[in-house]
């Protein structure tokens, strides 16, 4: 498919005598023409960043959309704006299909005083842009049409039901079925799946299990059966198509853009894609001090890439675990990769029921929040009192006093490795409740 886009972009470049770039409607780069000009103004900061990072910033997108390109049906001329990093004017060719914008073709306009492209050449370029629109719409429709097959893979039971679901999805994906993919979980997700997600082979909405986790086949618990009413919110599942493992990082930009949309739909003050939000950091970030943004916001988890759809159910469990970890720990960011969540790789796969270990029960009450935070920091510092006291900003003797109180409350001996492990797991797991 990418080769088709590249050929069409090259055709537009030849028609108009200028290098062209193609971006989808989310301003993510799809293809660009060869650039052999000695004009330094041709490669201004906006164009350079788009090509190198394969995407544009939100500010750049907002600036260009201010010229009405999303509503235009023909070429739009945009003047140069050096303050915005646009050293040369642009010609934007909207890429539409049945009246819906699918993307944009961008060309550098001629310098002031020089004639621009002839109207006939622009008309011919718009015809090519329409062909691009058909391809983009078909690609988006293919991803949406695979929602049933994708959902079946994520929710089928082990054994032959899962084998049949995987075979059906592989057949629907065609030659790309055996390529590299990454599973993404966005939770909570209200409503229906988006019509398209850039770079996605398939998207679907997964119901929640009775325990509150997105349903799946590989982990604990079964998916909700037909006609049942699963508790909690559903999650959005995205199957990202990757060219290589290195292509995962750029693909996550499309995932990050989903978070504000989901947060807006739920009416909560969730964190934005850049990690900002309306909530504070709680009382020192300790156990039980989650913010509104974390407790009610939307987070995403990304699994390690897999080659072969048979590994997709396990990858989905990774994505679910990473999304839960992102909700529990703001430091992971609103989009967390499974490979980076540390102990939550194990803890987040446990049952979603609140932690109720008898030893930790009293420590996890609101009245003992500061003791819980002290204990967690102490254990995070591998039991090194000096490091823990410095991290907490307290005197070492104060730390010892608090730890003695913790031992009294829990009945555990913090000099014993297994007691430390039990308490550390309970404290971390309590964030996932």
User: In angstroms, rounded to a whole number, what is the distance separating the alpha carbons of residues 201 and 242?
Assistant: 9
pLDDT of 186: 93
Strand partners, 209: none
- Asked if pLDDT for residue 51 goes beyond 70, the answer is no
How many CB atoms sit inside 10 A of residue 37's CB?
Answer: 12
Strand partners, 97: 100
Mean pLDDT of the chain: 77
Per-residue 3-state assignment (H helix, E strand, C coil) for the chain: CHHHHHHHHHHHHHHHCCCEEEEECCCEEEEECCCCCCCHHHCCHHHHHHHHHCECCHHHHHHHHCCCCCCCCCCEEECCEHHHCECCCEEEEEEEECCEEEEEEEEECCCCCCCCCCHHHHHHHHHHHHHHHHHHHHHHHHHHHCHHHHHHHHHCCCCHHHHHHHHHHHHHHHHHHHCEEEEEEEECCCCCCCCCCCCEEEEEEECECCCCCECCCCCCCCCCCCCCCCCCCCEEEEEEEECCHHHHHHHHHHHHHHHHHHHHHHCCCCCCCCCCCCCCCCCCCCCCCCCHHHHHCCEEEECCCEECHHHHHHHHHHHHHHHHHHHHCHHHCCEEEHHHCCCHHHHCCCCCCCCCCHHHHCCCCHHHHHHHHHHHHHHHCCCCHHHHHHHHCCCHHHHHHHHHHHHHHHCCCCCCHHHHHHHHHHHHHHCCC
Q: Of 37-46, 55-64, 352-361, 374-383, where does mean pLDDT reach its minimum?
A: 37-46
Contact at 8 Å (CB) between 22 and 105? yes
Q: What is the CATH number of domain 358-430?
A: 1.10.10.2840
- Asked if pLDDT for residue 7 goes beyond 80, the answer is yes
User: In angstroms, rounded to a whole number, what is the distance separating the alpha carbons of residues 370 and 361?
Assistant: 15
pLDDT of 421: 86
Q: Of 16-20, 25-29, 227-231, 408-412, where does mean pLDDT reach its minimum?
A: 227-231
User: In angstroms, rounded to a whole number, what is the distance separating the alpha carbons of residues 126 and 128?
Assistant: 5
Cis peptide preceding 291, ω within 30 of 0:
no
pLDDT of 273: 32
Q: Of 242-246, 277-281, 420-424, where does mean pLDDT reach its minimum?
A: 277-281
CA dihedral 15, 35, 85, 51 (to 10 degrees): 100
- Asked if pLDDT for residue 306 goes beyond 50, the answer is yes
Chain centroid to Cα 125, Å, comes to 34
- Asked if pLDDT for residue 27 goes beyond 70, the answer is yes
pLDDT tier for residue 283 given thresholds of 50, 70 and 90: very low
- Decide whether 2-139 matches 358-430 in CATH topology: no
**Burial of 175: CB neighbours in 10 Å, binned 0-12, 13-18, 19+:** exposed
- Asked if pLDDT for residue 2 goes beyond 60, the answer is no
Terminal Cα-to-Cα distance of the chain (whole angstroms)? 43
Chain centroid to Cα 39, Å, comes to 37
* pLDDT above 70 coverage of the chain, percent: 73
pLDDT tier for residue 337 given thresholds of 50, 70 and 90: very high
Domain 2-139: give its CATH superfamily. GAF domain (3.30.450.40)
CA dihedral 235, 240, 246, 247 (to 10 degrees): -110
User: In angstroms, rounded to a whole number, what is the distance separating the alpha carbons of residues 302 and 131?
Assistant: 33
pLDDT in tens, 53-72: 445 667 777 888 889 998 89
Boundaries of every domain in the chain: 2-139, 146-347, 358-430
């Amino acid at each position: 498919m990418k080769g088709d886009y590249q050929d069409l972009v090259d055709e537009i470049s030849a028609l108009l005598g200028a290098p062209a770039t193609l971006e989808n409607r989310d301003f993510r780069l799809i293809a660009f023409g060869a650039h052999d000009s000695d004009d330094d103004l041709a490669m201004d900061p906006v164009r350079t960043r788009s090509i190198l990072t394969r995407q544009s910033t939100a500010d750049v997108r907002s600036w260009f959309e201010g010229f009405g390109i999303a509503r235009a049906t023909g070429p739009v001329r945009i003047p140069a704006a050096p303050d915005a990093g646009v050293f040369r004017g642009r010609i934007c060719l909207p890429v539409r299909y049945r009246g819906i914008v699918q993307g944009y073709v961008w060309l550098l306009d001629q310098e002031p005083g020089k004639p621009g492209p002839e109207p006939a050449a622009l008309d011919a370029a718009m015809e090519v842009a329409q062909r691009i629109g058909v391809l983009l719409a078909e690609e988006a429709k293919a991803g949406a049409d695979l929602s049933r097959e994708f959902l079946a893979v994520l929710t089928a039971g082990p054994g032959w039901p899962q084998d049949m679901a995987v075979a059906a999805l592989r057949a629907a994906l065609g030659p790309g079925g055996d390529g590299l993919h990454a599973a993404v979980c966005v939770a909570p997700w209200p409503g229906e799946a988006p019509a398209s997600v850039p770079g996605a082979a398939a998207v679907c909405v997964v119901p929640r299990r009775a325990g509150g986790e997105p349903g799946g086949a590989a982990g604990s618990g079964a998916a909700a059966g037909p006609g049942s009413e699963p508790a909690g919110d559903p999650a959005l599942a995205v199957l990202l198509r990757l060219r290589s493992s290195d292509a995962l990082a750029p693909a996550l930009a499309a995932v990050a853009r989903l978070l504000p949309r989901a947060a807006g739909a739920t009416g909560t003050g969730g964190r934005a894609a850049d990690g900002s939000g309306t909530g504070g950091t709680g009382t020192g970030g300790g156990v039980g001090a989650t913010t509104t943004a974390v407790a009610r916001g939307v987070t995403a988890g990304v699994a390690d890439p897999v080659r072969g759809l048979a590994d997709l159910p396990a990858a989905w469990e990774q994505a679910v675990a990473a999304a839960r970890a992102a909700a529990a720990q703001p430091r992971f960011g609103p989009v967390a990769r499974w490979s980076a969540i540390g102990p939550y790789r194990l803890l987040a796969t446990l049952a979603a029921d609140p932690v109720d270990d008898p030893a930790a029960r009293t420590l996890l009450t609101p009245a003992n929040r500061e003791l819980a935070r002290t204990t967690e920091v102490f254990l995070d510092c591998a039991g090194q009192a000096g490091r823990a006291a410095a991290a907490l900003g307290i005197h070492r003797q104060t730390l010892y006093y608090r730890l003695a109180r913790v031992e009294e409350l829990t009945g555990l001996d913090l000099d014993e490795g297994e007691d430390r492990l039990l308490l550390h797991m309970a404290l971390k797991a309590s964030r996932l409740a």
